[in-house]
Amino acid sequence: MARALVNIPPKAKRGEVITIRTLMSHQMETGFRYSTTGAPIPRDIITTFIATYNGEEIFRAELFPAIAANPFITFTTVATESGTIELTWRGDNGFAASEQATITVE
């Protein structure tokens, strides 16, 4: 289960700077740990986070093993027009998840 917790204001004034808060459930296994038998535990992290606003990319982040488990990322964007904000997370072992929210701009 890839569960995300996303907070995007449903309404904003045109030109207003809004903050988008995101939490994605993922253990972010670093690849630097060993199991009890001494075998290295392979890396399994989210590597990329992308936000689009009506299809246009507004923010992107490359994540490394030093990002804490259940990655938390916040960023801002200018509310330009009503529409859809889509967030996508991608990572090791084919991890892919996305969330959408609509925003009304007045």
Partner 1 sequence: MSPMRCAALLAGLLIVASAIAGASEDLPREKQRSSYDDMAPATRAMQDADTDNPGMLWVLDGEALWRAKTGSAARACADCHGDAKQSMAGVAARYPAFDAKRGGPVTLEGRINACRVENQNAQTLAYESRELLALSAYLALQSRGKPIAIDEKKLGETIAAGRDIFRQRQGQLNLSCAQCHDQHYGGKLAGNTIPQGHPNGYPLYRLEWQTLGSLQRRLRNCLTGIRAENHAYGSRELIALETYLMWRARGMSMESPAVRP
Partner 2 sequence: MPSTCKPSNLTSRRDALRLMGAATAGYALTIVRVTPLAATPADMRTAIEKITGGAKVSAGRVHLEIPPLVENGNTVPCAVTVDSPMTAADHVRAIHIVTEKNPQPNVISCRLGPRAGRATVSTRMRLSDTQTVVAIAEMSNGSFWSGSVNIIITLGACLEDLI
Q: Which residues bind partner 2 (CB under 8 A)?
A: 17, 29-30, 32-36, 38, 41, 53, 58-69, 71-78, 80
Instruction: Give the separation between CA 21 and CA 65, rounded to whole angstroms.
Output: 20
Given a contact cutoff of 8 angstroms between Cβ atoms, the answer to whether 20 and 77 are in contact is: yes
Say whether residue 23 binds partner 1 (CB under 8 A). Answer: yes
| 11 versus 14: smaller Cβ distance to partner 1 | 11
Closest residue by Cα to residue 64 from 29, 40, 20: 29
Q: For residue 88, what are its two tokens?
A: 């996508």
101 binds partner 1 (CB under 8 A): no
* Residue 11 touches which member of partner 2, partner 1, none, C-beta under 5-8 Å by kind: none
Give yes or no for a contact between 12 and 73, defined as CB atoms under 8 angstroms apart.
Answer: no
Q: What is the footprint of partner 1 within residues 42-81 (CB under 8 A)?
A: 68-70, 72
**Separation of alpha carbons 87 and 96, rounded Å:** 11
Residues near partner 1, by CB under 8 A: 1, 3-5, 7, 21, 23, 25, 27-28, 68-70, 72
